Amino acid sequence: MSTFQELGLNEDLLHAITDLGFEKPSEVQAKAIPLLLEEDKDLVALAQTGTGKTAAFGFPMLQKIDIDSRTTQGLILSPTRELCLQIANELKLYGKYCKGLNVTAIYGGASISDQARSVKRGAQIIVATPGRMKDMISRNMVDISKIQYSVLDEADEMLNMGFYEDITDILSHTPDDKSTWLFSATMPKEVATIAKKFMYDPTEITVGNKNESTSNVSHEYYLVNARDRYQALKRLADANPDIFSVIFCRTKRDTQKVAENLIEDGYSAGALHGDLSQNQRDIVMKSFRNRQIQMLVATDVAARGIDVDDITHVINYQLPDEIETYTHRSGRTGRAGKTGVSMVIVSKSETRKIKSIERIIKKQFEKKEIPSGMEIVEVQLMSLANKVHETETNHEIDKHLESINELFADTDKETLIKKFFSAEFNRFFNYYQKSKDLTVSESRGSDREGGRDYGKSSNDTRYFINVGRKDGFDWMKLKDFLKEQLELGRDDVFKVDVKESFSFFNTEKELQEKVLAFFTDFKHEGRFVNVEVSENKGRSGGGRRDRGRGRGRDDRRSGGGGRRRDSKPRGERRSSDSGNRTERRSSRRSDDNKSERRSNDRGDKKYNDSRGDRRPESSSSGSDRPRRSRRRD
Ligand code: ADP
Ligand code: MG
């Protein structure tokens, strides 16, 4: 079936679909909608995040309920406040031409009496989190005894979160003859149990392979010593100046800590987890959506269902306990036809998990090395050069030009360029020039790509090439492109690292002449492709392992607990150092006030693009740049 008309939806809904710009139904919609419209049946639908499940149950529900009645007829349970609001808002959009429709969202952290009032006004559909729903039932604030349709959305996640009893309790207040539609990305035992217990002969539909990840996401893993995890994260961010990412941690505590550290180190980061108030979470999500936050550090639960397109990287700071969860994480990127990268930082003891994940997602990981300091320096410099090149001239500067010109009267262009870039660039350079190698060698012979150990080879040439993601390349495509153009063998091009507007790759030294000769006069899609030998070798070889341990500048010095407050000037340490939960909360509260105060001097200016303010190291206290105003949550 190929159009919404053919699915049997009514005019009001089709009208809204046109407004929304949905051209054709997604697979889960094509399968579920006709089925649900036709008869009152129970349904189990398995489809991963981002496949359009909301509309798959939303349209049939909107069509089937009696809008002229003010009785609550549809109940949708979903695991988090964010999802609850997201679903309620979607439903309102879908039903914008259904006159008299009232969809009410019920969730914790907001006024219960407001919500009760909205229900009383005649909510035909309630979208609720289980906790608040149960609460309102016990206070007689809702009547769900006439429900005809109930939806368990993200059922696996609700069960993960321990809502089994709440759900059971809630459903016991609904009539037996209602239809139940269960939507889930995965089908663990617990979901099967729920289906068996609460549903009558459900029809099952599966979209795609259960748990399989989308094809436009590539998967990479980075092996590091556990104590270098945070440094590795920073390098991955620094090596991708245009990163817009979700970073997953296992616990709320780690989430908060990593976000705080990143903010302290000058990154535009924010934390999203269940210990934050509703208001704080809304603010974080808003900043993330407007790109004021470039790195959103989140727990699995809090990030579930977040619908933000254009996420370039998902970083698994820690792998999830349940490896199935990896699919949800990586599904945050590579949406809306874009490509994305899912990176995993692992320590040696976790490499086994990579193999298990590969089996689940049916894709291979590429083992990559944490970029060396010099690699990052080069990336940052080229990114800066690109940005300067693409900057539109601001003529407000004209009136000051005379004095600036005077200052540089004796400086030739070359020197001026050098000076200009040095001004921006020295921080990175100074920080990284003596940095140690974070890569850990895996036990022999387990490397991908034919067992080549790139790290040790000093016989490679590393190249810079001026095409990148924005030219439609990811590492696989660029590798294929190079192999094809240069007529090279399977393993001749390696260590391909694609950035936004440029990339790096390696070949054996013997091939250098051929590569450079080929690209002296080569056009791709009407543009000259320029390839140069890169100054750094990628990994320099030698001196790996633990040399310089405890001395390297980006080495973690504090040791215990993996905390990283080592090099902060005293006055900037926060009270949360003690790690005590209560204290952390109160420190956050006081930080809220601070960020409110700060928001004044920030004005409306976005600071997402001021990457120059990012300080690779918290102890670069010699830096006299203004600190980027911090945003807590
Ligand atoms: P899921 O619940 O499966 O994670 P959602 O229902 O949240 O997915 O949908 C993901 C996004 O896709 C939403 O922004 C939604 O508006 C959009 N979407 C849903 N159906 C379609 C469609 N048929 N065509 C285009 N976009 C759609
Ligand atoms: Mg959903």
Same domain, 190 and 73: yes
pLDDT of 305 reads 58
Q: Which of 164, 219, 131, 93 is nearest to 476 (CA)?
A: 219
Q: 238 lies in a domain?
A: yes
Phi, psi of 106 (to 5 degrees): -125, 120
Contacts 24+ apart (CB under 8 A), 279-284: 279/109, 280/588, 280/592, 280/632, 280/633, 281/81, 281/82, 281/633, 283/633, 284/633
Report how far ligand 2's centroid is from the alpha carbon of 14 (Å): 21
Q: Which of 89, 167, 185, 159 is nearest to 131 (CA)?
A: 167
Token pair for residue 546? 């633990």
Q: 488 lies in a domain?
A: yes
**Residue with the nearest Cα to atom 2 of ligand 1?**
53
pLDDT of 341 reads 93
Whole-angstrom distance, CA of residue 465 vs CA of residue 468:
8
Same domain, 170 and 270: no
Count of C-beta atoms within a 10 Å radius of residue 150: 25
DSSP letter assigned to residue 111: -
Same domain, 468 and 533: yes
Same domain, 487 and 409: no
Whole-angstrom distance, CA of residue 447 vs CA of residue 494:
13
Give strand ranges (E) for 20-86.
43-46, 74-77
CA–chain centroid gap for 309, Å, is 9
> Mind listing the pLDDT tens digit for each residue in 523-567?
888 888 889 888 765 543 333 333 333 333 333 333 333 333 333
Q: Is pLDDT of 362 > 90? A: no
pLDDT of 94 reads 97
Whole-angstrom distance, CA of residue 34 vs CA of residue 216:
29
Most confident by average pLDDT, 177-181, 501-505, 563-567 = 177-181
Question: 50 CB less than 6 Å from ligand 1?
Answer: yes
Question: 305 CB less than 6 Å from ligand 1?
Answer: yes
Q: 76 lies in a domain?
A: yes
Same domain, 359 and 415: no
Cα angle 502-292-467, degrees, rounded to a multiple of 5 = 10
Q: Is pLDDT of 162 > 50? A: yes
What residue type is 197 in one-letter code?
K
Element at 327 (helix H, strand E): helix 325-330
> Mind listing the pLDDT tens digit for each residue in 115-158?
999 999 999 999 999 999 999 999 999 999 999 999 999 998 88
Question: 347 CB less than 6 Å from ligand 1?
Answer: no
Residues, Cβ < 5 Å to ion ligand 2: 53
Question: 52 CB less than 6 Å from ligand 1?
Answer: yes
Same domain, 199 and 235: no
Same domain, 40 and 111: yes
Q: Tell me the residue range of the domain where 411 lies.
A: 374-390+403-432
pLDDT of 169 reads 94
SS3 percent helix, strand, coil of the chain, rounded to 5, is 45, 15, 40
Same domain, 195 and 242: no
Same domain, 100 and 170: yes
Same domain, 24 and 152: yes
DSSP letter assigned to residue 121: T
Q: 101 lies in a domain?
A: yes
In this structure, are residues 247 and 296 in contact, taking their beta carbons and an 8 Å threshold? yes
Q: 438 lies in a domain?
A: no
Phi, psi of 469 (to 5 degrees): -60, -35
Token pair for residue 68? 């002229």
Per-residue pLDDT band at 343 (split at 50, 70, 90): very high
Most confident by average pLDDT, 65-69, 350-354, 404-408, 577-581 = 65-69
Whole-angstrom distance, CA of residue 80 vs CA of residue 88:
12
Same domain, 163 and 284: no
Q: Which of 154, 194, 204 is nearest to 53 (CA)?
A: 154
Ligand nearest to the CA of 328: 1
> Mind listing the pLDDT tens digit for each residue in 1-43?
579 999 999 999 999 999 999 988 999 999 999 999 998 999 9
Q: What is the CATH number of the domain that holds 48?
A: 3.40.50.300
Q: Which of 301, 251, 334 is nearest to 562 (CA)?
A: 251
Token pair for residue 460? 């490679």
Residue recorded with tokens 């306990």: 321
> Mind listing the pLDDT tens digit for each residue in 436-486?
888 776 654 333 333 344 444 568 899 999 998 888 888 888 988 998 888
Phi, psi of 29 (to 5 degrees): -70, -45
Same domain, 320 and 385: no
* 1, 22, 304, best to mutate for ligand 1 pocket (most atoms within 8 Å of CB): 22
Q: Is pLDDT of 568 > 90? A: no
Q: Which of 213, 473, 499 is nearest to 330 (CA)?
A: 213
Q: How many domains does the chain have?
A: 4
pLDDT of 361 reads 83
End-to-end CA, the chain: 45
* 31, 307, 309, best to mutate for ligand 1 pocket (most atoms within 8 Å of CB): 307
